[in-house]
Structure formats: structure tokens, C-alpha cells
Amino acid sequence: MLTIEKYGAIDIGSNAVRLLISSIHEEEGKTTRFKKTSLVRVPIRLGADVFKTKLISDENIARMIDTMQAYQLLMKTHKVVKYKACATSAMREAENGVALVNLIKEQTGIQIDIIDGKDEAAIIAMTDLHELINTDATYLYVDVGGGSTEFTIYHNGKTITSRSFKLGTVRLLNDLVSDQIWQEVENWIRENIKNYSRISLIGSGGNINNIFKNSGKSIGKPLSFLYLSSYYKLLNSLTYEDRIWQLNLNQDRADVIIPATRIYLSAMKWSGAKDIYVPKIGLSDGIIKSLYNEKLKKQ
């Protein structure tokens, strides 16, 4: 007998706040299917406040409350039976982050968990990559966010190690990433891949998803280092307005896409990867999977 339940995942990032609603299809004797039903994104850009002042502004507090009220209503109308809301880099660094969590709980009923970089990397690692990852290959998974980037190494289908760095697109736009951070990332990648050969990248995040969509590549096919380098040069040759008009980018995407591409290219260079696969998954997908795993443990 087929059973269908809807789960919700709220990802409160440094650049945008996302709500993913997924339908969980279960039938005895068959592999559970996760089907994305709805994805809503609001570009609040909390990091622009927090990484400079350590505080979320009054304007963004109001926008956060409005967004959470909207998401609560969307989950209600979709008949979501279970949800989880996770806040990452900006909220965990904001001095008024906990106060905002309490205010949102009071006004909307939504409970937000502020997670650290290690938890973020672990949740992302829960995403279902079996269709993409070959069990006899090595991959460096790079999830670029506004405030941080999570790196995970997979070998023979298993997670080897993960690390989160304060290297994000909003930080880079505001010139808040030191040369030391870049060096730490390079050292970590080189040290942890030195025993492996022929590494490929897996990229996640809204920016690489957008680049992949514009490439015209079919799902499952990688982007080459050469293609990404050429696209990076194109992005840098255009003004902010031209990137919006000519490349049809959203306003909040047209600036962060450049530092995001720089991070992916740097990771490819330091790991020696010639290709990057783009499965269009991220923290929200990991949250959905973690909710389902919690359900299985209770059965």
C-alpha cells in the first residue's frame, strides 16, 4: 500500500531563507521516494548585517518574522506533518540570534535550531547521492553558502571527513575573508586528498545550480574546469546590471555568483579535479532526509 506524507525543511542561510516541502512516498518492498513538491526562497541576506555589526537589523528581524509566518501558513496548507528549521552561519554569529529565535517561536510557532558548522556538514552529508557517486571513486563535495562553505570527502561511497570554513559569498562581497582563511582551506583540501587520485567535485548551492542550468548540460553530466573558468571570466567582464539583464539573474544572485564561482574553481584547482557534478541538493534536502531517518528509528 502506498503512503504519502509531506515534510518541510527551512534553511535560514546568510544570503537567503528557503522552505522546501517534499512528499515522502513509501510502499512496502520498494525504495522510498523523496519528491520535491515546493521550494520557496526569500533573499533576506542576514549576513550583510551580522558579519559587519554582529547584529540582525530591525528591518531584517521584521522580514524574518513575516517570512516565517508565510512559511508556517504554506506548511499548513500543504498539510506538512513534520518539519525542521535550521539556521546557519549568520544566525549563530548574531548577538541577537537567540532572541530572534525566541521571538519567531512566540509569534509564529516555528522552532528554529541554530546549528554549528559541523552539524551543517553532517546534515548535508545525509543527502542522497547514491545516483551520482560511484562506489569506486573519490569526490570532494563543496556546499557554498553566504557565510560558510562545507567540504566533505567521499571515497568508495563512504564519508571520509568533513569541515566547515567561514568562507562564504556574503563575507567575500563585504571583504571579510582573510588570506589566512583561504590558506587554511587550501591546506585542508590538499592534506585530505593527497592519498587519492582522480578526484571529482560535487557542487551544491544556488549559484552552481544556476550556472549548471544556464550551461544546457543534461542532468548527471558534469561541468568542466575549463567551462567554469570561462563562465567566471564572463561574469567578471559584465557589470552588475548586465549580469541581471544579459544572464537573467536575480538581483540577489548577480553579485554573489562571482565569489561563489571563485570558491568552486579554487577547490577544483587545489584538489586537481577536472569536473564538477551538480546534483541540485543541499541543506534543505539533508534536513528532509534527517526527519525521515528519525521516523525510521522510532518504528
pLDDT bin (cut points 50, 70, 90) of residue 118 is: confident
pLDDT exceeds 80 at position 227: yes
Q: Look at residue 298 in the predicted model and tell me its pLDDT.
A: 82
Query: Which is more confidently placed, 123 or 54?
Result: 54
pLDDT exceeds 90 at position 24: yes
Q: Average pLDDT, stretch 63-69? A: 98
pLDDT exceeds 80 at position 129: no
- For residue 10, list its beta bridge partners: 19, 85
Identify the H or E element spanning 187.
Answer: helix 179-193
Q: Look at residue 130 in the predicted model and tell me its pLDDT.
A: 58
Q: Look at residue 131 in the predicted model and tell me its pLDDT.
A: 61
Q: Look at residue 54 in the predicted model and tell me its pLDDT.
A: 97
pLDDT exceeds 70 at position 90: yes
Q: Supply the DSSP string of 47-92, one letter for each residue.
A: HHHHHHHSS--HHHHHHHHHHHHHHHHHHHHTT-SEEEEEE-HHHH
Inter-axis angle of helices 179-193 and 257-271, nearest 10: 40
pLDDT exceeds 80 at position 95: yes
Burial, 295: exposed, middle or buried (Cβ in 10 Å; 0-12, 13-18, 19+)? middle
- For residue 42, list its beta bridge partners: 17
Query: What span, in angstroms and rounded, lies between the C-alpha atoms of 122 and 118?
Result: 6
Q: Average pLDDT, stretch 209-216? A: 93
Query: What span, in angstroms and rounded, lies between the C-alpha atoms of 245 and 241?
Result: 6
**In what order do the strands lie in the sheet containing 17-26?**
33-42, 17-26, 3-12, 82-87, 112-114
Percent of the chain with pLDDT over 90: 81
**Mean pLDDT, the chain, integer:** 93
Q: Average pLDDT, stretch 215-238? A: 95
Residue 212 CB neighbours (<10 A): 21
Query: What span, in angstroms and rounded, lies between the C-alpha atoms of 202 and 184?
Result: 20
pTM: 0.90
Q: Average pLDDT, stretch 125-131? A: 66
At residue 161's C-alpha, the angle toward residues 157 and 162, to 5°, is: 110
**DSSP structural state of residue 128:** -
Q: Average pLDDT, stretch 108-118? A: 92
Please choose, from the candidates 80, 93, 164, the residue with its C-alpha nearest in 3D space to the C-alpha of residue 122: 164
pLDDT tens readout for residues 132-147: 666 678 999 999 999 9
pLDDT bin (cut points 50, 70, 90) of residue 126 is: confident
pLDDT exceeds 70 at position 156: yes
**DSSP structural state of residue 218:** P
Query: What span, in angstroms and rounded, lies between the C-alpha atoms of 158 and 160?
Result: 6
Query: Which is more confidently placed, 19 or 281?
Result: 19
pLDDT bin (cut points 50, 70, 90) of residue 297 is: confident
- Taking the CA of residue 234 as centre, how many other CA atoms within 13 Å lie in the half-sphere pointing to its CB? 15
